[in-house]
Structure 1
Amino acid sequence: MSPGDEQGYTETGQTRTRLPGGDPYGGAPRRTGRSSSRGLITVVGVVVLLIAAIAFANRGDGSSTDGSADKGDRPKAASTAASGTKPVDTKSAGIASGFAHTEQGAQSAAANYAVALGSAEMFNSGWRHQIVSLVYAPDVAAAKQSDMDSAYSSEKFLANIGLAKDGSAPKGQTFVSRVIPVGTKVTSSGTDTMAVEVWYTSLFGLSGEGSTNPVTESWYTTTYELKWMNNDWKVTDFQQKDGPVPVGRDQTASTADDMTKAVEEYGGFTYAR
């Protein structure tokens, strides 16, 4: 099991229209009178139709004549905008809790749970047990905790990522494991169940002089199956896949010292949809 297993939502355009060039009569003698008027009316009519088609194509509301937008096939123009609703006003062990019994509440819960399950604290048994008990539904928490203990306590796994047997980083180095949600999307919903996809980027590795596992960036999408119980959303299962992955810019990697300072000085967020 890799860390990714737990680390695991208005476009504008320009349309150029070119009318046929040259002599519209193909070099033949021009007609006069009513034929000329008809030709002018035809050209004007084509231009009007083209303008109408361009205006329709450039509409930003995502509507269509067949009502496909209403079916959820494509996001609305404001689907990436913040809802403006405060996600929660309570926390348990630093993890947001008490989400609303709505789709927005489920998306906020999934984003915050992804951050907790992808954190460096998951590599400490005490913190891991607390996170699992708070995030997962009671009827699956025990099984999930056992599976995670086996994976996160594997000496081979810990050695591969440069950590000691107890999950601590080597002296002089800082272990980095962070999940940064980019967007969320509800893929299925019921009265007390919800499936939410969380698209996020992940930072993982060791910062510090002599690190053989420098901090790298990865992209994943995890689908969380959520259930409403005890006045909150809880995870019952999840599935993870790679990407979507953007094209990386040609930027110079920061020094180990700069990366360590950033991790220590920049705190996380409570995420809301």
Structure 2
Amino acid sequence: MSLGDEQGYTDYGDTGHTRTRLPENDPYGGAPRRGGRRSSSRSLVTVVGVVVLLIAAIAFANRGDDSSADSSTGKGARPQTASTAASGTRPVDTKANGIPSGFAHSQQGAQSAAANYSVVLVSADILRPAERSEIIRQVFAADQQAALTDKFNKAYSKQFLSNIGLDANGNAPTGHTYVSRTAPLGTKTTSYSDAAATVEVWCTGVFGTAGADSTNPVTSDWFTMTLQLRWSDGDWKVDSFSQKDGPAPVPGDNKASSADQMAKAVEEYGGFTYAR
């Protein structure tokens, strides 16, 4: 479940359920043109040419910095790949109650922490009172935990849970599976010091209740979370966080899966530990 959806979102956990409104019409203006064999041949040559150019561009981008090449061309610096390239740093190999911990005291470590905490904060576990208290203890700075416990408990009230088809313990009815799975697509540090960092995490995810008669079917969403982090007790901890919609791509033409397929996917496919 994504934060800040059915009702307005403010820092710390005024929460709701996101629905992304998808365009119904083709934004590119209608059906593709059809052609005969000659146009098909030309199209094949064009596609091959584009693929070759893409491969060449990727190879060029992965060469790394070469100051002599830049100075000789006189066309300015080439685009930087740091925002998307993997750093090569290995993920953390420690977890506390299933939550990654022990992040590096560096900008990369802060980005890794933000990515993993985003997954936890928009998980199905945050809806369950027993798991929620442990998440708050593991993820947030110690001096924020008492206030956040109260805020989260009020946000995820019995009435709120009932509105999305869950009982007071955050469980779906028999025969249904509640889905809240988030995948970070990228991170960006907007400020950093040894003591604190602000990291934005671009995410997508699937949220809703899978079941034959569900009134809250599983849908996808795109959003960006901003986490204020603090270096505390030898790890990065969250001081506060917020969320905004998007950036969202044009939706594809994928056929929606059945409720049983969605429930089975959640049960069979595990998550990841993310590293910058």
Compute the TM-score of the two structures, normalised by the length of structure 1.
0.74
- Contact persistence 1:87–1:105 (CA under 8 A): no
Residue 43 of structure 2 corresponds to none
Deviation at 1:87, TM superposition (A): 2.6
User: 5+ residue gaps in structure 2?
Assistant: 17-52, 55-69
2:271 paired residue number:
268
Q: In the alignment, which of 230, 242, 257 is matched to residue 254 of structure 1?
A: 257
Superposed displacement of residue 154, structure 1: 3.5
- Does 1:80 find its partner at 2:84? yes
Partner of 1:72: none
- Residue 21 of structure 2 aligns with which residue? none
Report the CA distance between 1:178 and its aligned residue.
1.2
Post-superposition offset of 1:78: 3.8
Residue 197 in structure 1 maps to residue 200 in structure 2 = yes
Cross-structure match for 2:78: 61
- Tell me the residue number matched to 1:148: 152
Question: Within 1, Cα distance between the matches of 2:88 and 2:77?
Answer: 21
Q: 1:247 to 1:60 in 2, by over 3 A?
A: farther
Aligned to 2:180: 177
2:236 matched to which residue of 1? 233
Partners of 1:91 and 1:77 in 2: how far apart? 30
Equivalents in 2 of 1:177, 1:99: separation in Å?
A: 24
2:226 matched to 1:209?
A: no
Aligned pairs for 1:23-102 (under 5 A) are 61-62=78-79, 76-102=80-106
Identity over aligned residues, as a percent? 55
Specify the SS of the correspondent of 1:203. strand
CA–CA distance in structure 2, aligned partners of residues 222 and 257 of structure 1: 30
Separation of aligned partners in 2, 1:2 and 1:251: 22
Q: Deviations over 1:115-174 (max 9, x none)?
A: 11111011111100000110000000111111001111231x112211122211011000
Q: Are the structure 2 counterparts of residues 163 and 177 from structure 1 closer, same or farther at C-alpha, using a change threshold of 3 Å?
A: same
Q: Is the 2:106–2:194 Cα contact (8 Å) retained in structure 1?
A: no
Are the equivalent residues in 2 in contact too, given 1:221–1:240 (CA < 8 A)?
yes
- Which of 156, 164, 168 matches 2:167? 164
Counterpart Cα distance in 2 of 1:186 and 1:221: 13
Distance in 2 separating the partners of 1:78 and 1:107: 13
Partner AA of 2:149 in structure 1: Q
- Distance change in 2, residues 1:3/1:190 (3 Å): closer
Q: Spell out structure 1 runs of 4+ moving beyond 3 A.
A: 1-8
Pairing 1:130–2:134 present: yes
More displaced 10-residue stretch of structure 1: 164-173 or 174-183: 164-173
Secondary structure at 1:267's aligned position in 2?
coil
Structure-2-length-normalised TM-score: 0.73
Listed as ranges, the gaps of 5+ residues in structure 1 are 13-51, 63-75
Separation in 1, partners of 2:150, 2:93:
31
In 2, the alpha carbon distance for the partners of 1:217 and 1:182 equals: 14
Whether the 8 Å CA contact 2:2–2:207 is kept in 1: the answer is no
Q: Secondary structure at the match of 1:211?
A: coil
Question: Per-residue deviation at 1:241?
Answer: 0.7
Instruction: Give the residue type in structure 2 aligned to 1:139.
Output: D
Is the CA contact (8 Å cut-off) linking 1:193 and 1:226 kept in structure 2? yes
Structure with the larger RCO, 1 or 2 (CA within 8 Å, 6+ apart): 2
Give the secondary structure class of the aligned counterpart of 2:87: coil
Whole-Å Cα distance in 2 between the matches of residues 2 and 182 of structure 1? Answer: 15
Match of 1:114 in 2: 118
